[in-house]
Structure 1
């Protein structure tokens, strides 16, 4: 099976390291890293350096390339780009897709499948939905550090196809993959965590630890979560008090100095970032759906005013 990973940053690098680590059956899969520039050059020369739990290892994919012709046809494409890179990347590597190619996006938002279907002509039944619980960052070209989270991958579809076989294959090669029919609820549960924490830590310039140790920040965090809960309900995605408790537990499990990739982009002065999916999406979708709780996402609107673009 030919597996391409599109984007070798924090998420793509983590998945690639799992697939290529200490496995005796690499003849059953071919793992291709799809990246360019300094990242491609570094991995070609030295492999991918991956750090986790105070340990480090170097893994070598079967191919590192940004050339669609060299990459060839894929059986599975794991999409780990940033949302703002998605359209350009998909169109560039469209020649690598065949009708049966499965697409597994591991993006931060809740509408990746919808976006992919609007960007490229590909059978909708072959576009899965997915997410991953992790803090993992590219610290230098070809170097990825896993900083927190178990790295659990959840994926699935609301259609009739059964992809338990893919769960088994990924698990056999070291990825903690979990197939579910309730993937929309799972994705929204992650969004219940990642949207408020990305918006709040980025606008105030604080770490996870500073957030959870400050009552005022936690009050805002709770309000932001309430707005996500209300929006989800308007879309008939029903999250529970148990989901909220899980988010609070999740927040306590990350290192004190942890930061989201969105915050790192903001601090690095990047004008390309994922504000559109963490903040703008909540505000615009709430208005469209007529969400009344906190009057059309009032707290997200206040957070938005902290950004000057």
Structure 2
């Protein structure tokens, strides 16, 4: 199976690097600057599960993309999705499968509209990654899970081929028959974790120490209500695990959104928080008579975006 990894940033570079080391047919689609880095330094991953140094990995610029691929692994930021679709469009044929690893759900409709719904799979990953100033990818924990599946939940011949291509490649690869459920659950967790740590500019432990546990639980509960309204209620054991992770005293947990804020980068506030609000039941939006937890974190994060846009104008 010929695999195109869109970008060689933290997520694409990590999973693409593991696939390359496992001998899979992988090509990275990159911009000019990243192409020069890969030619000069190779693909570098520093991980507690084993480092990667892959000299000059196969990569291509969008202008030189003139053939279709079997599988496209997509891990861009939501605000970059339109540009990414423009870049990899020549690689999409009638049978090409697109496996997005973005948070939230809105990207599924956007991909299905730009290409066809039949091209699109469901997917998510559970891993903490960043990049240092040199471009090296830093794996910040010992988890590297990637789940995927047909949006219908069916075990089709094509998804079994994807499972074969991603198996035994140095990460925890899982074919799921309930991938949409899992994506909703992760979205609720990310919206809560990113909403709290991003808006408070602090770790979960610091927010707890400041008396913020009730706010965290309120935000998680509100997100869970949105998921239930959409037909994907968070499973009780999953909700219990989320509550424990998000209310542990002394936790150093922060979301990647906070790291983006600290480096004055764009954030996925509309995709992660704004879209959650847009899907909220109308009665929930008006029942409180004031700002809900979702509204509060959205206001804080939009204020950051407004200031950033003004300063970069």
What TM-score bracket applies, with the shorter chain setting the length? 0.7 to 0.9
Residue 76 of structure 2 is aligned to residue 81 of structure 1: yes
Structure 1: runs of 5+ lacking an equivalent: none
Query: Matches of residues 158-307 of structure 1 in structure 2 within 5 Å?
Result: 158-159=151-152, 160=154, 162=156, 163-211=159-207, 213-214=208-209, 216-251=211-246, 257-270=252-265, 272-286=266-280, 290-291=283-284, 295=288, 298-307=292-301
How far the C-alpha of 1:185 sits from its partner, in A, is 1.0
Cα separation, 2, equivalents of 1:48 and 1:248:
37
Inter-partner Cα distance in structure 2 for 1:64 and 1:130: 23
- May I ask how many residue pairs the two structures share in their alignment? 298
Question: What is the deviation of 1:70?
Answer: 4.3
Specify every segment of 5 or more residues in structure 2 that has no aligned partner in the other structure, as ranges: 307-313
Q: Give the Cα–Cα distance (whole angstroms) in 2 for the partners of residues 186 and 228 of structure 1.
A: 14
| Kept after mapping to 2: 8 A contact 1:147/1:258 | no
Q: Map Cα deviations across residues 193-226 of structure 1 (whole Å, 9 max, x no partner).
A: 1111101111111124434x52623221111110
6-15 or 227-236, larger mean C-alpha shift:
6-15
Equivalent residue of 2:128, what SS? strand
Please give the per-residue CA displacement for 1:151-177, whole angstroms capped at 9, x wherever unaligned: 211111233452133223201333322
Q: Kindly tell me: are residues 305 and 113 of structure 1, through their superposed partners in 2, closer, same or farther at Cα, counting changes over 3 Å?
A: closer
Cα distance in 2, alignment partners of residues 183 and 221 from structure 1: 26
Q: Which runs of 4+ in 1 moved over 6 A?
A: none
* Match 1:156 to one of 123, 128, 149: 149
2:103 matched residue in structure 1: 108
- The structure-2 alpha-carbon separation of the partners of 1:143 and 1:94, relative to structure 1 and needing over 3 Å to count, comes to same
Match of 2:91 among 89, 92, 96: 96
| 1:127-158 deviations in Å (ceiling 9; x for gaps) | 00111111111223531111126121111123
Matches within 5 A, 1:38-77: 38-53=33-48, 56-60=51-55, 62-70=57-65, 72-77=67-72
**CA-CA distance at 1:6 after TM superposition:** 0.8
Distance in 2 between residues matched to 1:252 and 1:43, nearest whole Å: 40
What is the DSSP-based 3-state SS (H/G/I as helix, E as strand, rest coil) of the residue aligned with 2:181?
Answer: helix
CA change 1:208–1:139 in 2 (3 A) is farther
Q: Is the 8 A contact 1:43 1:142 kept in 2?
A: no
Q: Which of 130, 140, 143 is 2:133 aligned to?
A: 140
Contact 1:31 1:61 in 2 (8 A): no
* Aligned counterparts of 1:229 and 1:171: Cα–Cα separation in 2: 32
Contact map agreement 1:227 1:293 (CA 8 A) in 2: no
Shift of 1:258: 4.6
Moved more, 54-63 or 199-208: 54-63
Question: Root-mean-square deviation (CA), in Å?
Answer: 2.5
